[in-house]
Amino acid sequence: MSPSAKYLDDHCPESINLHLQPKNANMGYNLLKGKRGIIFGALDENSIAWKTALRVKEEGGSFTLTNAPIAMRMGKINELAKECNAEVIPADATSEQDLTQLFTRSLEVLGGKIDFVLHSIGMSPNVRKDRPYGDLNYEWFLKTLDISGLSFHKVLQTAEKTDAMNEWGSILALSYIAAQRTYPDYSDMAQAKAVLESIARSYGYRFAKLKKVRVNTISQSPTKTTAGAGITGFDVFYDYANMMSPLGNATAEDCANYITLMFSDFSRMVTMQNLMHDGGFSSSGITEELVARLSK
């Protein structure tokens, strides 16, 4: 036993000791004990929302799960629901009516107001159908903006109108650094992410004043999921980002941990931020690995 562990063993009551050192890897810290929420966007076991649901459960949170009705048929959300003892409530995040039903039903099912919401939603028909940026279909562009950007405003507005949030609640959406820098194949999703991050600032102000609710976006490293793999050349920019990040790319599990922290009371004064969760990518100019790779 290390000297510090021995000191703790000798001097700390058992409860404190347990707090510092969970007995096994599957035991959480009860960071979200008693908290209730809604998790959007778990499609399959690779989804960031899927990993988040498992992590939040482990930390004592309870929640409803939701996804677009069509994804419900393609995905495996019911498996996750069973594992998490959560009810699934289908909702297209672009439909105000669906969202109102989702929030109303969630309040009933969970037995009280909500402490956390995860918006983990992204889709671009132009990306999916490989349209070049100089030949975009504008109807699809509007769909991209609606599904991947505006839907966040709809979620926030519905939360306000149904008076669903508890004070000091936390609402998060997932973003990508293409909102600030150009990645050619990210196409119109870059504009959707810029809208998403801007909504977090504007609604974050409003919700802080109204209810002390915080609203943030997390800008995540490239991650191997269905949405990620839909981008042309994904594997190359995944490897590039990994090489450009001193800590390497953040995984979906890392992201789930960060989301859990942001839902917990340890982040009460963080709001209206776009939080970089990228292993240092956004602050790096070049790395030794890239210099070595590019040297003749």
Ligand X SMILES: NC(=O)c1ccc[n+]([C@@H]2O[C@H](COP(=O)([O-])OP(=O)(O)OC[C@H]3O[C@@H](n4cnc5c(N)ncnc54)[C@H](O)[C@@H]3O)[C@@H](O)[C@H]2O)c1
Q: Is 149 in the site for ligand X (CB under 6 A)?
A: no
Q: Is 226 in the site for ligand X (CB under 6 A)?
A: yes
The only residue of 32, 38, 68, 200 in contact with ligand X, by rule CB under 6 A: 68
Q: Of 158, 182, 261, 279, which is closest to residue 216 (Cα–Cα)? A: 261
Q: Is 121 in the site for ligand X (CB under 6 A)?
A: yes
Q: Is 225 in the site for ligand X (CB under 6 A)?
A: yes
Q: Give the C-alpha separation, 102 to 67, whole Å.
A: 10
The only residue of 38, 84, 93, 117 in contact with ligand X, by rule CB under 6 A: 93
Q: Is 32 in the site for ligand X (CB under 6 A)?
A: no
For 245-268, give the DSSP string.
-TT----HHHHHHHHHHHHSGGGT
Alpha-carbon torsion (18, 19, 20, 24), positive or negative = positive
Q: Is 102 in the site for ligand X (CB under 6 A)?
A: no
Q: Residue 96's CB: how many other CB atoms inside 10 A?
A: 14
Q: Is 223 in the site for ligand X (CB under 6 A)?
A: yes
Query: 216: which strand partners?
Result: 172
Choose one: 7-15, 54-62, 114-122, 201-209; the region binding ligand X (CB under 6 A): 114-122
The only residue of 63, 141, 176, 203 in contact with ligand X, by rule CB under 6 A: 176
Q: Is 179 in the site for ligand X (CB under 6 A)?
A: no
Q: Is 227 in the site for ligand X (CB under 6 A)?
A: yes
Calculate Rg over the CA atoms of the chain. 20
Q: Are 103 and 66 in contact (CB under 8 A)?
A: no
| CA within 13 Å, CB half, 283 | 8
Shortest Å, Cβ 97 to ligand X: 13
Shortest Å, Cβ 183 to ligand X: 11
Q: Residue 29's CB: how many other CB atoms inside 10 A?
A: 15
The only residue of 62, 64, 106, 120 in contact with ligand X, by rule CB under 6 A: 120
Q: Is 274 in the site for ligand X (CB under 6 A)?
A: no
Q: How would you class 291 by CB atoms within 10 Å of its CB: exposed for 0-12, middle for 13-18, buried for 19 or more?
A: exposed
Shortest Å, Cβ 172 to ligand X: 10
Which residues contact ligand X (rule: CB under 6 A)? 40-41, 43, 47-49, 67-68, 71, 92-94, 120-123, 147, 174-176, 220, 222-223, 225-228
